[in-house]
């Protein structure tokens, strides 16, 4: 914003209000009718400063030259450092010689941490002391980068080699006292001194590795020993030393017999300490801890950390996430594997046409898997679940942080909007919480994606193509996602529309294919029994043996059986009902119509969350399925003898997509003898009459099922 002077004309009979700068002539010539004064005003304008200075924050030709020289200087420095290392110069080269002399590549972790100086010959001892003296001198270099490298190598060598640690203890540690007052140097020097002198922490963690060879399955280490480990990793003064050992304990084959809960608590405590004091976190060490822990216990690397630990529950400060951004260059395996933004190739159709993008490839597509982790990261960073607050927080990061995020999913708001939708909308809806409140939370994400779908000159074709891909990818998941995208597009002049063929094209490019539309819950077939027109039982393949009992119980009455076969491969979702979600409401859903009760009220299919073993332990001989009414807060699972068990936690299967969006060429979808249909699903007569359309599916599974059912009804008819 520039400050400019604007001349304004003021009449003689009007007072001049607060003139900042006035013209002398206007006051000297009073015979004039008008006076002129210069008023100070502010206008929004762009900076017009142009300079030849090479500073990176000043616009002009000098800045371009300065950036070029800086880049060339970094490349030259990297080349010289590499050349010096090859010639045995620099702290990295000296540390490499120490490791070669100690034969770290041939020693086990236990041998490295339990070796003594008596195991070395006098010649090797002299050479080792000489090399340790060299690396101590590098810690007093005039170059800050060289000092930091030397101190980091000292910490690493002292941690993993007891012999080197003993030599440093005998050396003059005055060289490790910080000579300059740079904050990074003071921190690194303090860590190096503490790492050399703190023999207690080294002993505790070295014993953990050595004792792990004696631990067998089912045998626990002493509780007091675990307590000392937990105290050392919780103490900010020693946690960085303990953290250096922690990733290696996860990789030990002997650690299988250790108590998993104790190892998990050690890891959780380290994350907690790191979140309280994120400025001192060694991000490379944290990255190793996460990677080794998740790999050792068969968790997906980093996703386990992002989904379970990178949450407001475990992270006590948003500074943790902010410092994590600053340390992304130390966690390249984490960044490249889980934060890299996807690359979407496309071809554009005719100019001026509707959405005619043809997508050619998609690389690095793991947004669906990373949504929870990215959502947790943004929540921790901003301290809010609001997407607008999260985006504002990302925009206000400093230049260095913005550069670190330039190739990640946090580089543009459309990727963050997609992750926000995936994280906060879909999982919460399955629990049937208040849908309106959930939609209000995720509506900004849908609005952002919809805004980039507009044919606006300010929106590039590339951004519109990516936004279209993300919007269709999300909306095609189920009818609830489609609805939230429709709500997000209401502020625009164009409705959010896409064809089923275009949605299948998007899925195919990602590599999902048609099978990806299958939900985590799928109904293959159901059997219902009606007595006098009233639905009594819902059975599945586990309950076929109950057919004879049902027929025996209702012997002499009008008993009919109908079957529902999912020939159309209709995808389903299951909504959980419990005390927190409240009663089940049919509004906004397509539950499966099971039939009607004796009052003519509609009944819907529900199934128990309990497994077969839990039902047996609860002495429930009833089946897995039951019927409920609209507004039900519990489901009654009927026993074959007539008694029932009422359960307040159950699930209700619903259609995943709108019936109008489900296309099928199977004759069952247009069969005029269908009973109580729910979209493409319907009940077909099975006993005592059998609908011939049932036999139109040549599937071997269906054939075997029908044989089992025929046998059950044949035996029941002889009763």
Of 79-83, 214-218, 343-347, give the range with the top mean pLDDT: 343-347
Residue 431: predicted pLDDT: 46
Phi, psi at residue 686, to the nearest 5°?
-130, -40
- Backbone phi, psi, residue 221, to 5°: -75, 165
589 vs 405, more confident? 589
- What is residue 251's three-state secondary structure? helix
Under a CB-based contact definition with an 8 Å cutoff, are residues 209 and 248 in contact? yes
Does residue 76 contact residue 85 with C-beta atoms inside 8 Å?
no
Alpha-carbon span 596 to 235, nearest angstrom:
65
Taken as a whole, the chain contains a residue count of: 719
Choice between 603 and 644, residue whose per-residue pLDDT is larger = 603
pLDDT for res 57: 62
Rounded to 10°, the helix 239-251/199-211 angle is 10
Can you give the pLDDT at residue 667?
60
Query: 655-712 pLDDT, tens per residue?
Result: 888 888 777 656 666 667 788 888 888 898 888 888 888 777 666 777 787 888 888 8
Bigger pLDDT: 428 vs 161: 161
If DSSP codes are grouped into helix, strand and coil, which group holds residue 652?
Answer: strand
Strands 525-531, 358-363: parallel, antiparallel or unpaired by DSSP? unpaired
Given a cut of 70, whether residue 28 has pLDDT beyond it is no
Average pLDDT over residues 597-616: 74
Contact 679, 662 (CB under 8 A): yes
Tens-digit pLDDT profile for residues 668-677:
666 677 888 8
SS3 604: strand
- From the CB of residue 657, how many other CB atoms can be counted at a distance below 10 Å? 23
Three-state SS sequence of 331-374 = CHHHHHHHCECCEEEEECCCCCCCCCCEEEEEECCCHHHHHHHH
Quote helix, strand, coil % in the chain, to nearest 5: 50, 15, 35
Q: pLDDT tens across 445-457, in order?
A: 888 998 888 877 7
At which residue do the structure tokens 């002077």 appear?
5
The yes-or-no verdict on residue 34 having pLDDT over 50 is no
Which residue carries 């004796």 as its tokens? 598
Q: What pTM was estimated for this model as a whole? A: 0.65
pLDDT category of residue 23 using cuts at 50, 70 and 90: very low
For residue 473, give every residue at least 6 positions away whose Cβ sits within 8 Å of its Cβ, in sequence order, or none: 418, 506, 507, 510
The pLDDT, as a whole number, for residue 338 is: 65
pLDDT tens for 369-378 read 778 778 877 8
- Rounded Cα distance, 68 and 61, in Å: 11
Residue 651, pLDDT > 60, answer yes
Tokens 């080269």 correspond to what residue? 93
pLDDT of amino acid 40: 43
Kindly state the average pLDDT of the residues 514-524.
Answer: 47
Q: Token match 């189920």: residue?
A: 478
CA torsion angle 655 658 659 660 (round to 10): -170
> Tell me, what's the pLDDT at 179?
63
- Quote the distance between the C-alpha of residue 230 and its chain's center: 28
Residue 446, CA distances (Å) to 170, 462, 573 in order? 64, 19, 22
Residue 306, judged by CB atoms within 10 A of its CB (0-12, 13-18, 19+), counts as buried
Cβ 655 vs Cβ 572: under 8 Å = yes
Task: Pull the structure tokens for residue 143.
Answer: 């170059």
pLDDT exceeds 60 at position 576: yes
Q: Percentage of residues in the chain with pLDDT exceeding 70? A: 66
Higher pLDDT, 78 or 417: 417
Q: pLDDT band at 312, cuts 50/70/90?
A: low
What residues does 35 pair with on adjacent strands? 10
Per residue in 240-283, pLDDT (tens digit) is 888 888 877 776 544 444 556 677 778 778 877 776 666 666 77
Backbone dihedral region of 334: left (phi > 0), alpha (psi from -120 to 50 degrees) or beta?
A: alpha
Using the predicted structure, report yes or no on whether residue 519 has a pLDDT greater than 70.
no
Could you tell me if 280 and 187 are in contact, meaning their C-beta atoms sit under 8 angstroms apart? yes
pLDDT score of 36: 38
Please state the separation of Cα 288 from the chain's center in Å.
19
Q: Give the separation between CA 75 and CA 80, rounded to whole angstroms.
A: 9
537, 546 contact by CB (below 8 A): yes
- pLDDT, mean over the chain: 73
The answer on pLDDT for 468 being more than 50 is yes
Question: In the structure, what pLDDT confidence band is assigned to residue 604 with cuts at 50, 70 and 90?
Answer: very high
- C-beta of residue 511 within 8 angstroms of C-beta of residue 520: no
Return the SS3 of 164: helix
Number of H helices and number of E strands within the chain?
28, 17
Q: 244 and 159 in contact (C-beta within 8 Å)?
A: yes
Read off the DSSP letter of residue 410: G
Q: 597 Cβ partners below 8 Å, 6+ apart?
A: 534, 535, 603, 627, 629
**Each residue's pLDDT tens digit, 62-108:** 777 777 787 788 778 777 767 766 666 788 888 888 888 888 777 76
Would you place residue 582 in the very low, low, confident or very high pLDDT band (cuts 50, 70, 90)?
Answer: confident
Q: Which residue has the higher pLDDT, 511 or 278?
A: 511
Nearest Cα neighbor of 114 from 208, 198, 255, 191 is 208
More confident residue, 85 or 346: 346
> Is the predicted pLDDT of residue 489 greater than 70, yes or no?
yes
Lowest average pLDDT, out of 3-12, 283-292, 567-576, goes to 3-12
Other Cβ atoms less than 10 A from the Cβ of 344: the count is 22
Look at residue 325 in the predicted model and tell me its pLDDT: 63
CA atoms within 13 A on the CB side of 334: 27
Whole-number Å distance between alpha carbons of 597 and 603: 7
Question: 671-709: string of b/e by CB count within 10 Å (b at 16+)?
Answer: beebbbbbbbbbbbbbbeebbebbeebeeeebeebbeeb
Q: Tell me: pLDDT of 427 over 50.
A: no
| DSSP line for 421-446 | HHHHTHHHHHTT--HHHHHHHHHHHH
State pLDDT tens for residues 348-362. 765 545 457 888 888
The residue with greater pLDDT, 73 or 435, is: 73
Q: What is the DSSP letter of 406?
A: T
Tell me the mean pLDDT in the region 644-648.
80
The residue-averaged pLDDT of 626-646 equals: 78
Residue 551 burial (CB < 10 Å; 0-12/13-18/19+)? buried
The residues spanned by each domain of the chain are 2-43, 88-197, 339-517, 525-717
Find out whether 70 and 56 touch, Cβ atoms under 8 Å: yes
Backbone angles phi, psi at 188, to 5 degrees: -65, -40
Does residue 632 or residue 549 have the better pLDDT? 632
Higher pLDDT, 78 or 198: 198
pLDDT band at 515 (very low <50, low <70, confident <90, very high): very low
pLDDT of residue 470: 92
pLDDT of residue 264: 74
Which pLDDT score, from 0 to 100, does residue 49 have? 52
Q: Taking residues 153-175, what's their average pLDDT?
A: 82
Looking at residue 323, its pLDDT comes to 60
Span 178-184, average pLDDT: 69
Instruction: Phi first, then psi: give them for residue 360, nearest 5 degrees.
Output: -100, -35
Q: What is the pLDDT of residue 616?
A: 41
pLDDT of residue 5: 34
In whole angstroms, give the CA distance from residue 530 to residue 554.
10
Position 402 pLDDT exceeds 90: no
How far is residue 23's CA from residue 39's CA, in Å, rounded to a whole number? 11
Tell me if 267 sits within 8 A of 293, measured CB to CB.
yes
Q: Is the pLDDT of residue 471 over 70?
A: yes
Which tokens belong to 616?
């047996």
Kindly indicate the confidence band of residue 436, based on its pLDDT and cuts at 50, 70 and 90. Answer: low
**pLDDT score, position 413:** 92
- Mean pLDDT calculated for residue range 312-327: 56
Report which of residues 28 and 137 the model is more confident about. 137
pLDDT score recorded for residue 328: 57
For residue 3, is pLDDT > 90?
Answer: no
């Amino acid at each position: 914003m520039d400050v400019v002077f604007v001349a304004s004309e003021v009449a003689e009979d009007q007072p001049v209000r607060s003139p900042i700068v006035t013209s002398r002539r206007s006051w000297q010539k009073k015979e004039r009718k008008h006076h002129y004064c210069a008023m100070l005003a502010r206008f929004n304008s762009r900076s017009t400063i142009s300079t030849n200075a090479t500073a990176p924050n000043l616009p002009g030709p000098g800045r371009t030259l300065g950036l070029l020289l800086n880049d060339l200087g970094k490349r030259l420095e990297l080349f010289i450092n590499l050349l010096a290392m090859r010639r045995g110069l620099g702290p990295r080269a000296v540390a490499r010689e120490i490791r070669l002399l100690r034969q770290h590549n041939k020693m086990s972790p236990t041998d490295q941490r339990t070796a003594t100086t008596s195991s070395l010959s006098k010649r090797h001892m002299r050479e080792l002391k000489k090399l340790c003296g060299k690396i101590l001198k590098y810690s007093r270099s005039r170059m800050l980068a060289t000092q930091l490298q030397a101190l980091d190598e000292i910490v690493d060598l002292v941690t993993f080699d007891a012999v080197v640690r003993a030599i440093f203890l005998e050396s003059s540690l005055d060289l490790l006292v910080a000579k300059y007052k740079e904050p990074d140097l003071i921190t690194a020097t303090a860590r190096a001194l503490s790492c050399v002198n703190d023999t207690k922490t080294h002993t505790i963690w070295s014993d953990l590795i050595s004792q792990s060879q004696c631990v067998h399955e089912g045998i626990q280490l002493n509780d007091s020993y675990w307590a000392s480990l937990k105290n050392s990793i919780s103490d900010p003064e020693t946690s960085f030393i303990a953290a250096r050992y922690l990733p290696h304990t996860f990789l030990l084959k002997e650690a299988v017999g250790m108590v998993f809960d104790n190892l998990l608590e050690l890891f959780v405590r380290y994350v907690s300490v790191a979140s309280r004091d994120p400025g001192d976190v060694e991000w490379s060490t944290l990255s190793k801890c996460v990677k080794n822990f998740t790999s050792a216990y068969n968790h997906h690397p980093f996703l386990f950390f992002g989904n379970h630990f990178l949450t407001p529950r475990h992270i006590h400060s948003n500074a943790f996430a902010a410092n994590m951004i600053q340390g992304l260059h130390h966690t390249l395996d984490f960044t490249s594997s889980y934060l890299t933004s996807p690359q979407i190739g496309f071809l554009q159709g005719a100019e001026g046409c509707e959405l005619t993008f043809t997508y050619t490839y998609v690389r690095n597509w793991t947004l669906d898997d990373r949504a929870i982790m990215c959502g947790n990261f943004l929540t921790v960073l901003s301290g809010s679940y609001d997407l607008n607050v999260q985006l504002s927080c990302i925009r206000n990061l400093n230049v260095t942080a913005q550069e670190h995020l330039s190739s990640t999913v946090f580089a543009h708001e459309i990727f963050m909007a997609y992750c926000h939708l995936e994280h906060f909308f879909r999982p919460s809806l399955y629990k049937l919480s208040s849908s309106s409140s959930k939609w209000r939370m995720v509506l900004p994400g849908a609005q952002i994606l919809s805004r980039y779908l507009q044919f606006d000159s300010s929106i590039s074709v590339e951004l519109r193509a990516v936004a279209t891909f993300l919007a269709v990818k999300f909306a095609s998941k189920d009818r609830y996602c489609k609805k939230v995208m429709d709500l997000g597009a209401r502020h625009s002049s164009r409705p959010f529309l896409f064809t089923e063929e275009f949605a299948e094209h998007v899925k195919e490019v990602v590599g999902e294919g048609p099978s990806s539309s299958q939900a985590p819950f799928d109904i293959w077939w159901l059997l219902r029994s009606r007595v006098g027109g009233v639905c009594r039982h819902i059975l599945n393949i586990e309950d076929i043996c109950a057919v004879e009992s049902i027929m025996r119980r209702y012997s002499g009455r009008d008993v009919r059986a109908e079957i529902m076969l999912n020939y159309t491969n209709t995808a389903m979702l299951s909504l959980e009902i419990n005390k927190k979600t409240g009663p089940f409401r049919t509004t906004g859903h397509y539950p499966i119509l099971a039939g009607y009760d004796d009052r003519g009220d509609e009944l819907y299919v529900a199934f128990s969350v309990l497994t077969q073993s839990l039902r047996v332990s609860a002495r429930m001989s009833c089946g897995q399925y039951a019927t409920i009414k609209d507004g039900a807060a519990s489901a009654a699972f009927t026993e074959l003898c007539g008694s029932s068990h009422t359960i307040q936690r159950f699930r209700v299967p619903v259609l995943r997509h709108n019936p109008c969006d489900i296309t099928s060429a199977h004759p069952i979808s247009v069969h005029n003898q269908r009973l109580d249909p729910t979209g493409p699903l319907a009940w077909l007569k099975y006993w005592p009459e059998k609908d011939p359309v049932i036999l139109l599916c040549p599937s071997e599974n269906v054939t075997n099922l029908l044989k089992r059912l025929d046998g059950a009804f044949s035996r029941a008819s002889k009763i």
